[in-house]
Each structure stands twice: as structure tokens, then as C-alpha cells.
Amino acid sequence: MNPETTPHRSYHHHRENQRERILEAARKLFLRDGIERVTIAQVAAAARISRVTLYQYYPDKTEIAWAVFQDVIEELHAAFVPPAGSQTETGFQKVERFMTSGIAGLTAFPEHFRFVSLFNYMYAQVGSPMRMRRIIEQAFLPGGYGILAEWIREGMADGSIRPGLDPGLTAASIANLMAAVTSRFALLESNVAEEYGYPEQDLIRQIITMALDGLRAG
């Protein structure tokens, strides 16, 4: 072991532990109280560090929220990477696999999607669309939103998706549909079922089925 590298590794490990402690504390507070109501002082206290120490990692609450969001997206991707399809899979089947795999995460990780819905409220105010796109493309959708468009092109070419669609526009619409469904059901939980009189999972399945039927050829 090189004695000169040991202190460096130890320091790096310490900083990573501190970072994880800050983000875990912030995530719990954000989920409990909403991002806009949480203060830097509360995050520091929950993480058992001083505000001075916290500022060495993150300059403000917005940056903490972005960091939590990136962690949440990476965790969802790790848990729900769509299974690899076969060599003969159609473009429609690829899109269907992506959508059903994404919805499966809502049942298993409702708090992750609830945080995303809370984060979207902050995102609407602070903006930074390119930053959002970069996180989604790097952490959750390898190949970027463009891969959805490519699957739609494949589906129109192989006859599984109806012709005449704008692949880019359709891909963006699918991404927004998935975001809207998961955020609404994660945030409102059983309220949706009580309001409409149908089980949440039935409503979600019907929404996805209708979207897929709109893509399917014939």
C-alpha cells in the first residue's frame, strides 16, 4: 500500500459519506415538508453538520434538490432498466417495453416518484431544461430521448406502428405522458382512486393501453 495515497482515499471517503448524509437528510425533509418549506439550516441539523460544512458541498437548497433528483433518477434506472428485447423485437414492442417497465417502478418506489413530483414544482420555477435533459439522458434513458424516436421510426418501417407520425414529437409526448402519470399518482396516491371510483392500477393500465393503442398499426 502506498502510504501517500491512504490519506487521500480516506479524505475522499469522508467527503462522500458527508455528501450522502446531506442528501439523505434533505430527501427525507423534502418528502415530509415539500422542497419550498425546507431550509438550509434544517438540512444541516438533520445531517448533523454545521451550515458552514454544508456550504462546502452545496451552495444552496436548489443545488441540494438537483443532487437528490439525480440520485433518485439513477436509483430508478438501476432498479427498472427495461429487460433486453430479442433481435426480432418490433419498434412497437420496444416502446411498449419501455412504458410498462417505467410504470412498474411507481408501485415499487412510490416515494421516488413523489419526490420527482415535488421537484417538478421547483423545476417549474428555476428552469434549466438542458440540465434536466442531461440528467435524464445520462442516468435513466441511455441514448437520450432520441432512442424513443428511433424506436418509433423502426416501428413505422416494420409495420408495427402506424405511419405518418412525427417520431420526435411522438417521443416527446410519450416522455411527458410517463412523467405526468407517475407524478400525479405518486403525489395524490389513493385520492385519485377515491375521486374517480377506480383502483389506481386499473387507471394507470388503461392510460398506458390507450397510449399504446394510439401508436399501434392497424
pLDDT tens sequence across 63-96: 999 999 999 988 887 776 555 556 789 999 999 9
For the record, the C-alpha cell of 167 comes out as: 417520431
**Is 169 within the bounds of a domain?**
yes
| 17-59 tens-digit pLDDT | 999 999 999 999 999 999 999 999 999 999 999 999 999 999 9
Please check whether residues 49 and 77 belong to one and the same domain: no
Please check whether residues 118 and 146 belong to one and the same domain: yes
Please check whether residues 181 and 113 belong to one and the same domain: yes
**Is 64 within the bounds of a domain?**
no
Please check whether residues 163 and 189 belong to one and the same domain: yes
34 with 118: CB under 8 angstroms? Answer: yes
CB atoms within 10 A of CB 54: 23
CATH of the domain at 174: 1.10.357.10
Counting DSSP H helices and E strands in the chain, the numbers are: 11, 0
pTM above 0.85, yes or no: no
CB neighbour list of residue 197: distance below 8 Å, 6 or more residues apart: none
Please check whether residues 38 and 117 belong to one and the same domain: no
Please check whether residues 75 and 140 belong to one and the same domain: yes
**Is 131 within the bounds of a domain?**
yes
**Is 211 within the bounds of a domain?**
yes
Please check whether residues 36 and 117 belong to one and the same domain: no
Confidence (pLDDT) at 189? 82
Confidence (pLDDT) at 80? 64
Please check whether residues 172 and 82 belong to one and the same domain: yes
- Nearest Cα neighbor of 92 from 173, 19, 160 is 160
Please check whether residues 40 and 99 belong to one and the same domain: no
Q: 10 lies in which domain range?
A: 1-59
CB atoms within 10 A of CB 164: 6
CB neighbour list of residue 59: distance below 8 Å, 6 or more residues apart: none
Q: Which of 59, 82, 100 is the last residue of a domain?
A: 59
Please check whether residues 162 and 98 belong to one and the same domain: yes
Instruction: Give the distance from CA 81 to its chain's centroid.
Output: 12
Helical pair 61-79 and 91-108, crossing angle rounded to 10 deg? 120
Q: Which of 41, 59, 77 is the last residue of a domain?
A: 59
Rounded Cα–Cα distance for residues 6 and 4 (Å): 6
